[in-house]
Amino acid sequence: MKRQSTPNDMPIITGILTVSDRASAGEYDDLGGPALKEAAIRNGWNVFGEAIIPDEINRIQEAIRSFAAQGCGLILTTGGTGIAARDVTPEAIRGVMRVELPGFGEVMRAESMKITPNAILSRNLAAVVEQALVIALPGKPSGAVECLGFVAGAIPHGVALAQRVPTSC
């Protein structure tokens, strides 16, 4: 796969966040985070760090802000985008975002519908948090990687726009 970076050819610094009560408790191995890490590396992005946290709004927000504060221009989350009572990743992101980018979720759902009718239940989304592009992906490893692939072409430009610091008049 072709290396993707920002338009000024700076590497995309990426944080990967697995949101799962059971994986964070050690009840099973996280498979989504490693699958996204492999996909990020294939895209030529630099993986800065990875974290596994429970499905808790405050913890998700803290982790996203921490990755953004440490210079991640792209933060990929996996898990918590369904409709179960503990699936709160979209709410967490919306609570700290500057702007939502609905096209990402629309494309991910539309393309996923070609694979499974259950894609209509997904609440994938993308938003800008601080100066990072945050993309919420499904918890199933194959779904996370597929959805990332559907939107990967827009990521370098999205990261570049998110990292531009507004200038004052």
Cβ distance 4 to 43 under 8 Å?
yes
What pLDDT score does 2 carry?
Answer: 44
In the predicted model, what is the mean pLDDT of residues 11-15?
A: 95
CB 33 within 8 A of CB 20: no
> pLDDT, tens digit, for every residue of 52-85?
999 999 999 999 999 999 999 999 999 999 999 9
- What average pLDDT is seen over the chain? 92
Domains of the chain, each with CATH number or no CATH: 13-163 (3.40.980.10)
* Token pair of 96 as six digits: 């700290």
Q: Is 0.75 surpassed by the pTM of this model?
A: yes
List all residues 6 or more positions away from 27 whose beta carbon is below 8 Å from its beta carbon: none
pLDDT at 4 over 80: no
Assign 1 to helix, strand or coil: coil
Please tell me the distance from the alpha carbon of residue 77 to that of residue 68, in angstroms, as a whole number. Answer: 13
pLDDT for position 64: 98
Give the phi and the psi of residue 14 in degrees, each rounded to 5: -120, 135
Q: What tens digit of pLDDT does each residue of 152-163 get?
A: 999 999 999 999
Q: Give the torsion through C-alpha atoms of 145, 138, 95, 74, to 10 deg.
A: -10
Instruction: Return d(Cα 166, Cα 50) in angstroms, integer.
Output: 29
Please, are residues 88 and 56 in contact by the beta-carbon 8 Å criterion? yes
Tens of pLDDT, residues 98-134: 999 999 999 999 999 999 999 999 999 999 999 999 9
CA atoms within 13 A on the CB side of 26: 0
For the chain, the C-alpha Rg in angstroms (whole number) is: 15
Region 42-59 average pLDDT: 97
Round to whole Å and give the CA distance between 21 and 45: 27
